[in-house]
Amino acid sequence: MKQQLLQKIESARTPGFGNLLSKSFDLFKKVWMDSFMHVVVTFLVATPLIFFVYVPFIPAIIKVARDGGTDQIEPNFDFPILSMVAYVLMVFVLIFVVQMITIGITAHFYKVCRIKDLDTKEDAGSYFSYLKGVNFGKVFKLSLANFGISIAAMLLCYLPIFYVMVPLQLMVVIFAFNKELSVLDILSISFKLGNKFWLLVFGLMIVSSLLAQLGIILCFVGLFFTAYFVCIPIYYFYKETIGFVGDTEEFTEDFSTQYSN
């Protein structure tokens, strides 16, 4: 299957930028409530984990509150070195777990986009369907790869992060529709597709991110509805370059036969 996908990428034509955005607006009208629910689920699951980052500071916060919040209280940085190392490791682990949850829920949103776009009768399943069974291991490895590649890019004076952010963005949508591929194959295809259409995808990411921020106008609550808009242009980009079932409106539950034509 990897070779079939690579051949599709080689023969893919460049989709129209405006056309992708136009279709994205049309689909958003159908999935705006789904977008809201995916953001809420992500928020509810991730927030308790993020809370643990601030647990070590709770005693200091309580002390400041008891002392009336005066400026005379000096912070205490006299922590054992092992405690500091353990805290840093805990923060990295929590960030990693949140990233896993985000990848899994985002992959599910891509699935919902396909269902609403093609008007199929498929059951979308639970929000955590991509975090169950064998998929959990793949999400773990994809998160590890994402984390490692991002850290390596930042260590190289940050400039390479602009290059890798495109393949890393495509990684999730490719995983969402090709769960049977190995993690290495998903990464390989992501970089192949990203390399060929880097400027187009980068532009889509920038413009859709700016549009998603329009939710701030509604007292920030609107962000819960618009945050996942950034995924929709990527969905259509994937559809018009790799596509589903020979680019027809047909659908099958068996992903192994998606590219048999």
Does any domain span residue 131?
yes
Distance separating alpha carbons of residues 53 and 122, to the nearest angstrom: 39
**Span 180-221, pLDDT tens digits:** 999 999 999 999 999 999 999 999 999 999 988 887 776 667
Task: Give the rounded percent of residues in the chain with a pLDDT score beyond 90.
Answer: 56
Q: Name the residue type at position 55.
A: V
pTM of the model: 0.84
| Domain assignment of residue 134, yes or no | yes
Within a domain: 261: no
Distance CA 221, CA 96 (A): 26
Give the number of other Cβ atoms within 10 Å of residue 94's Cβ: 16
The number of domains in the chain is 1
Determine, yes or no, domain membership for 259.
Answer: no
Domain that holds residue 224: 2-71+78-249
The pLDDT of residue 23? 96
Q: What are the pLDDT digits (tens) for 216-242?
A: 776 667 788 889 999 999 999 999 999
Contact by Cβ (8 Å): 122, 110 = no
**Alpha-carbon gap, residue 49 to 44, rounded angstroms:** 9
Dihedrals φ, ψ of 80, to 5°? -60, 145
Residues 133-140: what's their mean pLDDT?
93
Give Cα separations from 213 to 85, 166, 209, 258 (angstroms).
36, 19, 6, 35
What pLDDT score was predicted for residue 250?
39
Write out the two tokens for 101: 């949850």
The mean pLDDT of the chain is 85
Shortest CA distance to 235 belongs to which of 111, 104, 100? 111
Q: Is residue 61 part of a domain?
A: yes
Q: Does pLDDT of 118 surpass 80?
A: yes
Both tokens of 261, joined, read 């034509």
Is 256 within a domain? no
Q: Would 257 be classed as within a structural domain?
A: no
The answer as to whether 20 is a domain residue is yes
